[in-house]
Structures are given as structure tokens and as C-alpha cells.
Structure 1
Amino acid sequence: MRARIARLIVDRMLDQFPVRAVYPDGTVRGRGGPVLEIVRPTAMFERLARSPKVGLGEAYQAGDWRAGDGTDLAELLTPFAARVAQLVPRPLLTFRRLVEQRLPSRQRNTPAGARSNIRAHYDLSNALFGAFLDPGMTYSSALFDHSDEDLEAAQHRKVERILDQAEVGAGTRLLEIGIGWGTLAIAAARRGARVTGITLSTEQLQLARKRVAEAGMTDRVDLRLQDYRAVTGSYDAVVSVEMIEAVGEEYWPEYFRTIDRLLAPGGSVALQAILMEHDRMLATRTSYGWIQKYIFPGGLIPSRTAIDETLATHTTLVVEDDFRFGADYAETLRRWRRNFTANWQAVRAEGFDETFRRTWEFYLAYCEAGFASGYLDVAQLRLTQLSGSENIDSTTRSLPGAAAR
């Protein structure tokens, strides 16, 4: 019964969408376009009925549906991403609370929870990430100069731009929160900076230290297995690339307070952050989605509004530059997915099965569709401390209007 009801809802939705859904019996729904081949309708609709935010991805993992011959998976998902706010008919929104799962408490980003969440993704296998990332092992959006540019060159441009944004140069005491596999730390050290980098991933740390040593930068780079909340000292610049998404809304104030505390007077902060519109963030922040269940436990993408409000209420920091390049992330993800597919045999040799392959195909295509549709964006944000900030107490920061500064 639940599957039949779900099918009625989905068929009605498909009739308004520029896709072509094909059932096993030859029934076709949709207005034409990329082909959605439904392999096991009952199983698929049962998953959707049980958990709308998780069921579509789980159905793909299980092989209940696939992109039709000649249809790219991200191209198929993009129309849905572009209309995500209209996917559920308005009269049914009142029942959403009955089927949506709440975020599990075990995924809270306490110091212990954050270690568990980070390791669940980043400690899977360095060889896995090496199979689809560029040779520099940069796992964040590249910045392309032209559409056919080499991925490694585009990643290098991204790294250099954010280091410029943070004014990193000779003698800079730099803190990097979330080191990846060491590419940015090495680039900063080559500029003459002294780098402290932290991560919660043992796999990342091991390879990053090896790469730093091979680059001859061990005297300038100190990489640690450490939570951002435990860092002490004073730094002229703080850089964090796509780390805030793993912090969790509950801990955004502590994350930014920590950066504020560690930043030396006159210093600057550069963050690369995935962003979504504020109304969508508010609508989804407490519900459990497929990405959180299978890819990034404990994760939440912020809005620019949420960042501004957190800074104004809890810190002396303010955003003074906002550079957006969301279309470049769609292209980055397209390249990663292409590499993942081409190198699947090497990934499988690491012990990953066909369900994992479909999981990561869906993850990469799902994210690509989000950026291609404009549902998601990515920005490099430059933050500085307000002048005279030592005279601004927490009460002043909490006044109504503080967020507008």
C-alpha cells in the first residue's frame, strides 16, 4: 500500500519534470529528457515511502533504478536538484515529520564524535581517494581557468588563491584546520610560511607527512592528529578548506570562537565553504539525509546567512570578501566521477564491492547535480577581526542588529 501511494505521488511529480521515466512494463512518465530506468518499482517505492530523503539513494545502491542507456547520472539528477523544494506536493508537507528521520545523537560532533565521523569517511583508504583525485590529492573544488584545463592545474590555482586571500607569505605563522593530504601546507611552506596543520584522520596524516617529507618541508610544516578545539598558540593566518561542513551547526559557534581566539591581531582567515540558501538549510538541518547516513556522518552545509549570524553573535570576525565558483565544483565532481569509473578495478582491488561502487557513483553525481542546478554553491571567504574588537563584549555581539555588521 505504501509503495502504491508513493508511486502515485512520484508519477504526478514526474509528469511535471523534464525527464523520461520508463517502467519494466513499458509505461513511460515524464516530459522527456534524460532517461530514468526503473528496474524494481515495488522495492524502489517502498524505500521512498519509508524514508523519502534516504530512499532514493538506497534504491540506487540496491539497483532498483538506474540511468538509462546513454543518460549520464548527474544529468538525470540535475532536474530534481533544481526543483528540490517542489518535490513533495504542498498538501503532503504536513506529514513530512512522520517519515523523516531525526539526526542520530551518535553523530554529534563532540570531540569523540567528530573523530568517529571524520574517520568513517577519510580513513576508508588513501588508495581509494588516489584513484579519483588529481595527483596532488586535493579533495575540494578546483578553480578552472577554462573548461578543458587539467584538474591538477585548476586545483593549484584554487590553493594559491586562498593563500593569497589569507595573505600567506614568508614568515607567516599559518594554521590549517583540516589538512587533507598536505597539498596546501606544502604550497604555503614554499612561500616561506611556518605551517601548523591538524586533522582527525590517521590515514590522511600518515600520507600528508610523507608528502611533506618528500617535498623537503619538514622543517616548516608541523602536522598533527588534533581537534581544532584543542589548538593553542597565535597565528597570523588561519585557512580551512571545506572543513566547516563537518563541524555541525551545534558547534559552529565554538569553531569560529576558536579561530577568533587563535588569530593574532591584524591576522586574516580564509575559508572555502560549500553553501546553500538559508531557507533550505533551515528546512533540512535537523533531518537525516542520505549523504549523512552513507557519506559524511555529522555533516551539515551552512548558509552564508548562518555564518554571518554566528560570527556576529559569537566572535569579533566579519566576512569582508566572498568569491563564488559553484560551477567549477560541478566540473570538479564530473572529473572525479569520470576518474572513479575509469579506475574502478583499482578501487575494487582495495576490497570495495559493487554496492560501494553504486554508492560512490550516486554520491558524486548527486553532488554534481546540486552544483550544476545552483542548489549548492562554493565560496572562498576572507574573514578579519573588527577594528577595536577588544572593546566589543559578548553582550554587544548579541544585540539585535549585530548580524548586519
Structure 2
Amino acid sequence: MRFLPHLLKRFVHKGRLVVIEPSGSRVYFGSGEDGPEVVMRLHDDKLDRELFLNPELVAAEAYMDGRLTFEDGSTVYDFLYLFSINRRGLASHPVQQALRRGWRALKRWHQSNPLGRAATNAQSHYDHPPEFYALWLDSRMIYSCAYFPTPDASLEEAQEAKLRHIAAKLKLEPGMRVAEIGSGWGALAIYLAKLGVEVTAINVATEQLAESRKRAQAAGVADRITFFERDYRELTGTFDRVVSVGMMEHVGVNHFDDYFNTIKRLLAPGGFAMIHAIGRMSPPGTTGPFIRKYIFPGGYVPAMSEVFASLERVGLWTGDCEILRLHYYWTIRHWRLNFEAKRPEVVAMMGERFARMWEFYLAAVELGFLHGSNMVYQLLLSNERDDVPVIRDFIVDEERALAAR
């Protein structure tokens, strides 16, 4: 290896990375202390230069293609764990700093989600067969951060608690009109409809909408939910409540004002909105190249400064803000372990390369919520300062009432 050692010597301080070259010789990096030992084999000489120039993308692609594998009991999760505890060392390398400057310069282009392209980007991730997601999600197929009353709660319990937590914040009354922006497989719409409200739910993923309609019918609430295949900017009417879970990550930094202006326009007098999305506690950044290319094209996790700057420009009041710090780490850990248990079924359904891609994705994002800057925020937004109750005790009161039901 000519190039990669220049990077790895600066990068790996905690734990140890053992690289097996195509020739079979082993090269060691790191102290071996305060972290795992990971054994990685490179299967062709080109990886030396390719990994040096763009490690975050090339490591994923090489693992997907079988050009990079792990041995002696090491896994891709172990490798990404080692990466996550040494990430500052990687960011300090001049080549990586140049890469990041380039990504920042292209940030607005990468996150351009005009009408049409936004749907294509979302469909590339969400329009896999529902049977694939059913292998490793909870029974409701909720694909967003759960709410763990305790860290050892089951995934089913935590997702039920999340629905209850959101419904409590919405402070619903029977007969209210609720708009849901980004409805997934319909779990939240079904939960809210059972509370006696009328839900208009929009999504741009065709497969998700078809499954949502089936689930609403089976739950006996199809008459109280209208599902539309529609971009958020195309939704019309006014609503007592607007709720959006796991959607703002797909909006793109160019369109934050469009998103919040849509919410502002949809709210009836006295109404308010509940937004649940992934954010970062660090300054504005970029989307990593692997996630951007293979998982969430057009996606971006905003810094809170970007979120609140947009709210200031649009003129919405923030009535409440809650930060969920470890809840998504616990959620994705459940998903990853479920995925591992069902890996043979995933391969049979989607192929080996796809399974490796999703292994890499789930491990990377799990560790981003453990060692990185990612978290989840929930906001209550309104047009007037007192549309949201001015004392937040109502959230606990509503939550307890829903649990008692």
C-alpha cells in the first residue's frame, strides 16, 4: 500500500485496524486501546488509492461489491464503530478537508428537490416491496424514531409510545381536520383516525400509499382517512392540525422556506403543527456521499440554526421544542438486529449487494446517533403566539389520558 497508510496513521487512534493486503501481508494501525480490533481484507490493489481519495463512499461500495471484506470475527458494524470513535482524525486529513469543501460547494445542487424530482428521490428509497420493510420494522411498519419510556422497552412498545406522544402534543378533539405530510405506511394516520379526527395524508411513494390504504381498511378507519399521492407543496385547504414525521429530512436546504410556508398556509385559525425530524447539534454540514448516492438522494439533516432561521423568515411561532437524543440510536439498533436476523430472507428477496448496502446504512446511521451529532427534534408551530397552549403540562396530561384508554 502506498496511499492508504498516510490516511490511516492519522485516522486510527482508538482501537486497531488490521488491513490484509491483496498479497496477504497484514498492516496494523492504531494503539489497540479503547476500541475494537477490526480485520479488513482488500481484494484488489486499486482500493489503496480509491480508499485514500474518498474513504466514506469507496468503503461502502467496496463492501457492497465484495472487494472489501472482514475476517477473524469482525463485521461491518465493528468497522463502522471503529470509524465512528475515530472520526475526528479522518476529518483532520487535508484530502478529506478538500473533499468536504467540495461537498459544501455543491450542497444546494445535491439537495435540489423541485416538484417531480422530490418524488423520484423519495421513491428510490421507499418504494421497495413492503414485504422487505416488514421483515425488520415493527408490526405497524413505522420507519421513524421511536420514543422509549425506558432503554429496554421493546420496539413495539416504543413505537406505540411515539404515536401516543405525538397525539398528545396535537391535543386533538373529535371531528378535527388533520393533515399529515409524509404518511409512511399509514400508522400515525390510523392511530389519529381512531381518536375520532378526519385525516388527509399525503405521500409521494406509490407502494407506501397502496399498503397504507390496505392497513386503514383492515383497521376499520378507511372512511376517516384520505390518502393522496401528492407533493407537500400541492396540498390545499385548511386544517386544525398539521403533523409531519420524518419528512423535513427530504426537503433539502433550498426548500425549507417552502416547507414551512406550506405549513403556515395550511393552518386554520387557532390551529398548530407538530414537526418531528432528524437534526444535528453541530453547525450546518453536508450529506455524506454514501447516504446521498445510495440511500437518501436529495436528503439533508439540518442544523437547528438552519431550522430556526427558516422559521424566522417564514414567521411561524415555535410553541415547544423537544430534543430526543438517544431514542433513534435505540430504534435503529432494533432495526439492525432485526435485519441481521432476517438477512437470508433479505438476500432471497433483494439480492446480496442490496443486503450489504443496507447493512452498511443501518450500522452507519445507528452509530451516527451514538457517536455523531445527530438527534431528533419535535416542534410545535403556530401562526399566533397563543395557538399552542402556553403551559406545556397539557402534553403530559394528554399522554396519560391516551395511555389510560
Q: Check conservation: 2:14, 2:85, Cα contact below 8 A.
A: no
- The aligned counterpart of 2:204 is 200
User: Structure 1 stretch 265-274 or stretch 71-80: which is displaced more?
Assistant: 71-80
User: Structure 1 stretch 34-43 or stretch 229-238: which is displaced more?
Assistant: 34-43
Distance 1:121 1:311 in 2: 28
Q: Check conservation: 2:135, 2:338, Cα contact below 8 A.
A: yes
Distance 1:68 1:328 in 2: 31
- The aligned counterpart of 1:297 is 297
Q: Does 1:61 align with 2:64?
A: yes
Give the secondary structure class of the aligned counterpart of 1:305. helix
- The aligned counterpart of 2:395 is none
- The aligned counterpart of 1:181 is 185
Q: Does 1:217 align with 2:216?
A: no
Deviation (angstroms), 1:272: 1.0
Give the secondary structure class of the aligned counterpart of 2:268. strand
Aligned with residue 226 of structure 1, among 209, 230, 241: 230
Distance 2:348 2:75 in 1: 25
Deviation (angstroms), 1:71: 4.5
Partner amino acid, structure 2, of 1:335: H
Partner amino acid, structure 2, of 1:295: I
For 1:34-45, list aligned pairs within 5 A: 34-40=36-42, 42-45=45-48
Deviation (angstroms), 1:82: 4.7
- The aligned counterpart of 1:126 is 130
Partner amino acid, structure 2, of 1:359: M
Distance 2:278 2:136 in 1: 20
Partner amino acid, structure 2, of 1:230: E
Q: Check conservation: 2:203, 2:230, Cα contact below 8 A.
A: yes
Aligned with residue 270 of structure 1, among 264, 267, 274: 274
- The aligned counterpart of 1:398 is none
Give the secondary structure class of the aligned counterpart of 2:148. coil
Sort the Cα spacing of 1:102 and 1:43 in 2 relative to 1 into closer, same or farther, 3 A.
farther
- The aligned counterpart of 1:306 is 306
For 1:72-151, list aligned pairs within 5 A: 73-89=76-92, 91-92=94-95, 95-96=98-99, 102=106, 108-151=112-155
Distance 1:106 1:22 in 2: 33
Deviation (angstroms), 1:48: 2.2
Partner amino acid, structure 2, of 1:5: F
Q: Check conservation: 1:81, 1:373, Cα contact below 8 A.
A: yes
- The aligned counterpart of 2:173 is 169
Aligned with residue 17 of structure 2, among 16, 20, 24: 20
Distance 2:51 2:274 in 1: 40
Structure 1 residues not aligned, in runs of 5+: 390-405
Deviation (angstroms), 1:109: 0.8
Q: Check conservation: 2:10, 2:93, Cα contact below 8 A.
A: no
Deviation (angstroms), 1:93: 5.7
User: Structure 1 stretch 262-271 or stretch 66-75: which is displaced more?
Assistant: 66-75
Q: Deviations over 1:351-394 (max 9, x none)?
A: x22111110000000000100114211122222223399xxxxx
Sort the Cα spacing of 1:327 and 1:44 in 2 relative to 1 into closer, same or farther, 3 A.
farther
TM-score normalised by L of structure 1: 0.86
User: Structure 1 stretch 219-228 or stretch 50-59: which is displaced more?
Assistant: 50-59
Distance 2:95 2:210 in 1: 49
Aligned pairs, how many?
380
Deviation (angstroms), 1:59: 2.5
Distance 2:139 2:333 in 1: 16
Sort the Cα spacing of 1:213 and 1:344 in 2 relative to 1 into closer, same or farther, 3 A.
same
- The aligned counterpart of 1:9 is 7
- The aligned counterpart of 1:319 is 318
Give the secondary structure class of the aligned counterpart of 1:149. coil
Partner amino acid, structure 2, of 1:96: L
TM-score normalised by L of structure 2: 0.86
Q: Check conservation: 1:52, 1:99, Cα contact below 8 A.
A: no
Sort the Cα spacing of 1:324 and 1:121 in 2 relative to 1 into closer, same or farther, 3 A.
same
Deviation (angstroms), 1:69: 4.1
Sort the Cα spacing of 1:71 and 1:6 in 2 relative to 1 into closer, same or farther, 3 A.
closer
Q: Check conservation: 1:246, 1:298, Cα contact below 8 A.
A: yes
Q: Check conservation: 1:75, 1:369, Cα contact below 8 A.
A: no
Distance 2:110 2:120 in 1: 9
Q: Check conservation: 2:175, 2:196, Cα contact below 8 A.
A: yes
Distance 1:136 1:388 in 2: 34
Q: Deviations over 1:2-29 (max 9, x none)?
A: x722331223321x23343343423221
- The aligned counterpart of 2:330 is 331
- The aligned counterpart of 1:347 is 346
Deviation (angstroms), 1:317: 1.2
Partner amino acid, structure 2, of 1:318: W
Q: Check conservation: 1:106, 1:113, Cα contact below 8 A.
A: no
Structure 2 residues not aligned, in runs of 5+: 388-405
Partner amino acid, structure 1, of 2:374: L
Deviation (angstroms), 1:125: 1.3
Partner amino acid, structure 1, of 2:87: V
Q: Check conservation: 2:53, 2:95, Cα contact below 8 A.
A: no
For 1:269-288, list aligned pairs within 5 A: 269-279=273-283, 281-282=284-285, 284=286
Distance 1:52 1:296 in 2: 19
Distance 1:71 1:316 in 2: 51
Give the secondary structure class of the aligned counterpart of 2:223. coil
Cα RMSD (Å): 2.4
Sort the Cα spacing of 1:79 and 1:275 in 2 relative to 1 into closer, same or farther, 3 A.
farther
Sort the Cα spacing of 1:227 and 1:150 in 2 relative to 1 into closer, same or farther, 3 A.
same
